[in-house]
């Protein structure tokens, strides 16, 4: 028994000495662990005679229980001590400023901002917004838009084609937003997913179509994915005078200037006849391009009267309906208005760039409240 007493005394001394929970755990393992001193004593019970076991069994088990309790008691005391120490050493400075909320630091990408601005301006003029799929058929991207088979204009588009399907048809990433013109006009006789057809309508049609477009091209002003916005008006008496008015109203509102001069130059697009390119008056004398001032010109968009073949392809009668369309680069509009020099940075996801050029999420652009402030 004195052995047990001596063991008990030495373990209790070790428990009292353990200065933290780690040291205490080491004491526990040395006594009660698999190879611990008390566990070793318990293992000797098997070799004892029944009488001896009767006497020593309860004593050894009793010691085990007492030591376990003593360790637990010390553990609770040490934990409380440690907490006290932490509370005494750590301080919360309640005068520190709060971290700003995500709504204060998050930024809207300039492309999204410009799409919102364009949407606000054209909604105000009575246009609906339409969208179409990024993955298009050759038919909608080219054929329906009056690009003849094998015509070099198809190659000029630097198209990303997919592998041909079982029937030999190649889908593609749309090279412009113009295919959505046909999708919108064709809504009555073509099954397309309802979600693309939210703005589908019988003439009179007035839609703008913002979206992603793709061409195999990359430099300071080109990226393989970029954004366009398309406009389409179809009615019985739509004419170029209206086109010019709509575009000039848009340019004034978008660039937030009192007046702009535009210059229409003859051009060629398979889906319009006549086709024109539009230059906007600008001043390049300083560091930045100023729209609506000066004597210089800057090409800004393509437009024209919708080709009768396109109207026919869309299932409408070109002897009844005519209209005009235009297309322009959203990224380029953003660069011009907000002074970004390199388009590639738009898609780098660099937070510093976004902090600098981005917009506050709750400052929604409206014509009455201001587009960009």
Helix axes 37-44, 21-32, angle to 10 degrees: 20
Give the residue, chosen from 182, 184, 197, 303, that forms a contact with ligand DAH under the rule CB under 6 A.
Answer: 303
Give the residue, chosen from 56, 174, 176, 332, that forms a contact with ligand DAH under the rule CB under 6 A.
Answer: 176
User: Residue 322, interface with ligand DAH (CB under 6 A)?
Assistant: no
User: Residue 136, interface with ligand DAH (CB under 6 A)?
Assistant: no
Which lies closer to ligand DAH via its Cβ, residue 199 or residue 303? 303
Q: Count residues near ligand DAH (CB under 6 A).
A: 11
Which lies closer to ligand DAH via its Cβ, residue 196 or residue 264? 264
| Contact in structure between 201 and 187 (CB atoms under 8 Å) | yes
Give the residue, chosen from 327, 331, 343, 346, that forms a contact with ligand DAH under the rule CB under 6 A.
Answer: 327
| Contact in structure between 14 and 27 (CB atoms under 8 Å) | yes
User: Residue 326, interface with ligand DAH (CB under 6 A)?
Assistant: yes
| Contact in structure between 291 and 336 (CB atoms under 8 Å) | yes
Nearest residue to ligand DAH, by Cβ distance, number only: 327
User: Residue 302, interface with ligand DAH (CB under 6 A)?
Assistant: yes
Beta-strand pair 205-214/225-235: antiparallel
Q: How far is the CB of 187 from ligand DAH (least distance, A)?
A: 18
Segment near ligand DAH (CB under 6 A), from 33-41, 203-211, 255-263, 297-305? 297-305
Q: From residue 116, how far is each of 47, 129, 196, 208, 213 by CA, in Å?
A: 87, 11, 19, 12, 18
Segment near ligand DAH (CB under 6 A), from 22-30, 42-50, 256-264, 323-331? 323-331
CA–CA dist 252, 291 (Å, integer): 9
Q: How far is the CB of 95 from ligand DAH (least distance, A)?
A: 57
CA–CA dist 143, 164 (Å, integer): 17
Q: What x-and-dash track marks residues 254-273 binding ligand DAH by CB under 6 A? A: ---------------x--x-
Around Cβ 239, how many Cβ atoms within 10 Å? Answer: 13
Around Cβ 169, how many Cβ atoms within 10 Å? Answer: 11
CA–CA dist 106, 321 (Å, integer): 46
Q: Give the binding site for ligand DAH (CB under 6 A).
A: 176, 178, 230, 269, 272, 302-304, 325-327
């Amino acid at each position: 028994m004195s052995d047990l007493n001596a063991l008990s005394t030495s373990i209790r001394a070790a428990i009292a000495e353990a200065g933290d929970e780690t040291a205490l755990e080491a004491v526990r393992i040395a006594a009660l662990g698999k190879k611990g001193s008390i566990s070793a004593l318990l293992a000797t019970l098997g070799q004892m005679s029944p009488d001896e076991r009767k006497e020593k069994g309860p004593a050894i088990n009793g010691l085990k229980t007492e030591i376990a309790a003593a360790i637990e008691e010390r553990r609770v005391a040490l934990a409380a001590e440690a907490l006290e120490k932490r509370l005494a050493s750590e301080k919360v400075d309640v005068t520190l400023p709060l971290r700003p909320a995500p709504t204060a630091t998050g930024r809207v990408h300039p492309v999204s901002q410009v799409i919102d601005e364009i949407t606000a301006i054209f909604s105000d003029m009575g246009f609906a917004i339409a969208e179409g799929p990024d993955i298009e058929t050759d038919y909608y991207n080219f054929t329906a838009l009056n690009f003849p088979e094998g015509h070099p204009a198809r190659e000029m588009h630097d198209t990303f084609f997919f592998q041909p399907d079982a029937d030999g048809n190649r889908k593609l990433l749309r090279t412009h937003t113009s295919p959505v013109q046909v999708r919108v006009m064709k809504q009555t006789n073509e099954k397309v997913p309802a979600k693309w057809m939210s703005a589908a309508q019988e003439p009179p049609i007035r839609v703008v179509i913002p979206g992603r477009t793709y061409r195999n091209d990359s430099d300071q002003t080109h990226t393989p994915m970029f954004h366009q916005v398309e406009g389409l008006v179809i009615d019985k008496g739509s004419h170029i005078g209206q086109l010019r008015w709509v575009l000039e109203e848009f340019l004034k509102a978008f660039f937030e200037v009192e007046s702009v001069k535009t210059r229409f130059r003859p051009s060629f697009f398979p889906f319009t006849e006549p086709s024109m390119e539009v230059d906007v008056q600008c001043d390049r004398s300083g560091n930045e391009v100023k729209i609506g001032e000066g004597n210089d010109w800057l090409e800004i968009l393509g437009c024209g009267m919708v080709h009768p073949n396109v109207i026919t392809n869309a299932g409408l009668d070109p002897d009844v309906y005519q209209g005009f369309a235009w297309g322009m680069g959203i990224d380029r509009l953003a660069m011009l208005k907000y002074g970004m020099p390199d388009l590639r940075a738009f898609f780098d996801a660099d937070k510093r760039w976004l902090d600098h050029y981005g917009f506050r999420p709750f400052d929604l652009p409206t014509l009455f409240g201001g587009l960009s402030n």
